[in-house]
Amino acid sequence: MNNEQKIKKLAIEAAKSDKIPADIGEFVLNYLGKQELKVFLKFYKNELDKKRIYVSSPSALSSVSMTSLKNIYKQKDIIVDIDPTLGAGLKILQNDTIVDFTFKKYIDETIDALKD
């Protein structure tokens, strides 16, 4: 097993809990070099993204909206980002997939269509 595979295994183990366990955090900070730390963080973020979805909204979501999202994305943590520049609607990021139901996107697409 090469060094990158060991780091990946360590990152997967660290991502199983809500916070990086103290022993893993201490090891990572004390024994990994700069490049190895970048590799660890990349794998760690990928593992977290597998169990999370990111929702961008122009304002706080209602309890009905949150309940609907929780029903759709069972077993996932929902991270909400308030972005007033979106206008209206939602933008959802899951793994590498972006679903954009925002008014801003509609306006941008309309402008692009009119330019052609």
Average the pLDDT over 67-93 and give the result.
88
Taking CA atoms, 24 is separated from 12, 15, 21, 31, 46, in Å, by: 11, 10, 5, 10, 17
Q: Is 13 exposed, middle or buried (0-12, 13-18, 19+ CB in 10 A)?
A: middle
- DSSP code at position 103: H
pLDDT band at 43 (very low <50, low <70, confident <90, very high): very high
State yes or no: pLDDT of 26 exceeds 70: yes
User: Residue 76 above 70 pLDDT?
Assistant: yes
- Whether residue 4 contacts residue 39, with contact meaning beta carbons closer than 8 Å, is answered with yes
Q: Is the pTM of this model over 0.85?
A: no
Average pLDDT over residues 93-109: 84
- Residues 70, 66: Cα–Cα separation, whole Å: 6
Question: Is the model more confident about 1 or about 111?
Answer: 111
Percent of the chain at pLDDT exceeding 90: 19
Instruction: Give me the pLDDT at residue 1, please.
Output: 64
Confidence of residue 42 (pLDDT cuts 50, 70, 90): very high
Across 22-35, average pLDDT: 88
